Structure 1
Amino acid sequence: MSAQYGIGDFSKKTNTTVRTLHYYDEIGLLKPAFLSDGGRRYYTDAEIVKLQKIVTLKYLGYSLEEIQEIIHEKDWNLKQSIQFQRGEMIKKKQQIEQMIRTLDHALTIIEDNQTIDATIFISLINSIQMENEHREFLKELIPEITINEIYNIPEEKHKQLSKRTANLFTNLKEAYGQEPSSTSVQHLIDELWQILNDLYPDTKSLIETLMEKDEELTQQLDDSPVLFPSAFNAGEEKWVGQALEIYFKKMGLILDEND
């Protein structure tokens, strides 16, 4: 005759809380072998084996709903199930690694400043969080080899560029309202140009390519309003645009065909 354990003893023997055993009973995942006339739960060695299966499957990342299906299946395709679960765990691992990478960038950005404008912070973190989506977006506009050159840079360099960009955007916001053609504002735009060139040395050719596809680019941006959140409000964007136009004209880049 198999040994019988009250729920307290079973809890201690299996290192499982009574509350968890109650819950497993409620959802039909692990029911006691029988109930006494007074309604007390009793378990046997068979339930220990079943609980070991549940614990193992939980460790492998299966949800309770999935475990419920698996332990009641007569013909469980173990290999197929484990292969699928491994794939799901790899996805989660990649998501966690991406989150850690994003947090590393966030810490670098605020390294010298305990506070930062929320719109600047969000726009820069978005560039890390949505990197794959940004790559897909750019495939419609520029060659894939160019996209790879832009994104495949050392991680430390990428973090430092994010930090420089955050500082520059902060300075631009502080300069908002000054004459766009002023030396101080144009100096800030030159800093932006240097950052872009550090990211991609042939920035001028890239901008010329994007200017040729201005209508297509504008349409795609309109269709994806949350893909590239701006670090500036509408007034600041217009002002920065004016300053960029002045800077680009000096370089022979004309943003507006009517000028």
Structure 2
Amino acid sequence: MSREAREPFFTVGELARKGGVTIRTLQYYDACGLLVPSGYSEGGRRMYGKRDILRLQQILFLKSLGFSLEEIGEKLLPADSAAELSRVFKQQRSILVEQIARIQQTVNEMDQLIGEVETGSDISIERLLLITKASRTDNPYFFLTRNMSKEQTEYLIERFNEQEAAEFNQDLQALTAKLIALYRRKEQPEGAEGQQLAEMWWKLTMQMTKGDLSMLQDMSALLVNENSWPADAADLREATQTFMREAVLAYLRNNNITLPKTRGESHS
């Protein structure tokens, strides 16, 4: 394959060096169909062009967020035109903005804890243990734990080991990102995507509570309590209390599931 003046091509070694990956990694991506080179040289060497570099950039970006290669393969977008390339970078920008928001929430939680400590408030051992576990993961709803009872906190500590907590939080991040996207697009909670989201929520809820409806009732009460939410979580609160609520209620009706009522809430 000859190199065209308008678009340089790179051998597997050149791309590995310039892209900050190993040759073996590129060979593996080729073998599993994730990044197949645009062509081969007359000598049979892999040759990578601009399209391949853009695909590699997406792979490395998504991999840095903890996605598996199978998940990455499902999320990769074409980038053969300016419009498609713009979509790729907009997707990544959206993900980064959401990460920044979650980091800011964590910072705010730390500020809250610092304030409590400096004013002499007692931080329970249960809450310290939950904070220790949560600091190794990334739960977009972690700020709700400040209003949990001792029993609720102890339950969450015992419910998940470190690996399970990391996997649960990754699923919760995916659900939250989908929720925000559907809410901003003004999709219908009763529509197909809204019901897919509700099904995701139900499965995660059952995983967390082990089907204990009293625990579900307590968690739901936290979500509907305005005082549970910090000011900088306004978008997530609005999306949760409107779109998610309507989507879940429709899902429960469609599947003939009856939940106990929380204080101040009606499931009719």
Q: Identify whether the pair has TM-score above 0.5, normalized to the shorter chain.
A: no
Structure number with bigger Rg = 1
Alignment TM-score, normalising by the size of structure 1: 0.42
